[in-house]
Amino acid sequence: MRISILTTGTRGDTQPYIALGKDLKKLGHQVKIVGFVNYEELVTRHGLDFHPLKEDIAKISKEMAKRSIESNTPIKFFTSFQKMKPYIKDKQLGVQRDLFEGCEGADAIIYHPGAAIGQFVGEYYGVPTILASPFPMVPTKDYPALIFYKYRWGKIANLLTHHIFEKGFWLTVKSPIASFWKDRFGKLPERFMNPYGRKISKNHTSVMSLSPYVFPTSPNGTKAFGSWFLNEDLSEWAPPEGLENFIERGEAPIYVGLGSVYDEDADETIKIVIQALRKSGKRGIIGMGWNQFSNKEAYEDMYFIESVPHTWLFPKMAGVIHHGGAGTTAVTFQSGVPSVVIPHGNDQFAWGKRTEELGVGTAPIPREKVTVEKLASAVSQMLQPAMIENARRLGKQLQNENGARDTAQYLHRFLKG
């Protein structure tokens, strides 16, 4: 069966779908990833077909990252998308066209919530559709929707937040789909309504890249067997010169990385981090991402690195300080090490709060509230024996899961009818 998997966003948004695609291929399916052209080599290296979204995600990623930092409340989350429109308006039609064309000839379509056109393309061609979310996206009374997660207003309010999030997310992706469809067909798609609430049927189902150990299993039929980790082949990869020596010449260091968050005050942020680590008596490995830092040579107890496979590095660390991105959080949990989350925006506050609730990390510290004293205190709390043991226990549970494989097997059975 020919399956198109529609993804949008950065590398972290793309990797889980490659992992799922690889396991679907093992079951005999022909899998095509539809994603930004930047990731063609990554996709084809893993043996999957590729159809490009021809826009360069790197050109707008920094602006997207800046806007995400502003999204520290539910209202700001949705208004940040509106502020992004001047930067992506002229690109939206092309992206929707590429997503549509990536589905041509498919016998089934799997789509990221941000590529919701996949639902309407599937209905247009009469093929099964699968909503595949990298985060919890099902109505439940058990906990609020991610952008509301730091608030606790009761079970009825929890359920309401999920409906608000669904409708708000739909409003952010609805307009470009409508523009493309009218341009292509002269009218809107049939049943042009919020696709996220589609009921499970013989032609539609939904899955999540999520562990039941992290969030309770969905009550509405959406399946969650574990996170979809892309296990990179490290046989031809070697750590940067000096990294292993740095790790081994003392107690396990602490990794600090803020992922794709662009920090205009990177120098100041990193100085705060270094002072906090030193105050705690700890060495650090600083992941720079897009940020730059001057005078690195003055810090012999710190190792600065642009990027490194988290699955290789994290198990070697005493703990991790990170921004609370979904992918980084998942790897941290699986690695079995405790953490401190410094959320900047979007769903990062939710992952920080969930880290605290699971007892595998401290209370999150929003970026604007980070001080040397607060971060040093959090590092000391993170390294308490009880928190270390909680993180180790959760890591062991997650290491026994194979979310991509089990999700692929479920979808294989679904598609066979």
CATH at 329: 3.40.50.2000
Residues 102 and 168 in one domain: yes
> Based on the domain organization, do 204 and 252 belong to the same domain?
no
* Residue 375 CB-half CA count within 13 A: 29
Q: How far apart are the first and last CA of the chain?
A: 13
Domains identified in the chain, total number: 2
- Quote the pTM value: 0.88
Exposed/middle/buried for residue 307 (C-beta within 10 Å: 0-12, 13-18, 19+)? exposed
What does the alpha-carbon distance between residue 244 and residue 313 come to, in Å, rounded to a whole number?
Answer: 10
Q: Is residue 18 part of a domain?
A: yes
Beta strands in 187-242 (DSSP E): 204-208, 223-224
Residues 217 and 342 in one domain: no
Integer CA distances (angstroms), 162 to 7, 58, 197, 312, in order: 22, 31, 11, 35
- Note whether residue 183 is domain-resident: yes
Task: Please state the length of the chain.
Answer: 417
Q: At what angle do helices 385-399 and 326-335 cross, to 10 degrees?
A: 100
Angstrom distance (rounded) from CA 290 to CA 294: 14
CA distance 389 to 38: 39
Instruction: List helix spans (H) across 3-136.
Output: 11-26, 40-45, 57-69, 74-101, 117-125
d(CA 185, CA 172): 21
> Does 220 share its domain with 268?
no
pLDDT tens for the chain, 417 residues: list them: 999 999 987 787 899 999 999 999 999 999 999 999 989 999 999 999 999 998 776 665 555 555 445 555 666 665 555 544 544 455 678 899 999 999 999 999 999 999 999 999 999 999 999 999 998 988 899 999 998 998 889 999 999 999 999 998 898 899 999 999 999 999 999 999 999 989 999 999 999 999 999 998 766 789 999 999 998 777 778 898 899 999 999 999 999 987 555 555 667 888 899 999 999 999 999 987 655 666 666 678 999 988 788 999 999 999 999 999 888 899 999 999 999 999 987 788 999 999 999 999 999 999 889 999 999 999 999 999 999 999 999 999 999 999 999 999 999 999 998
The whole domain housing 366 covers 243-399
- 406 and 351 in a single domain? The answer is no
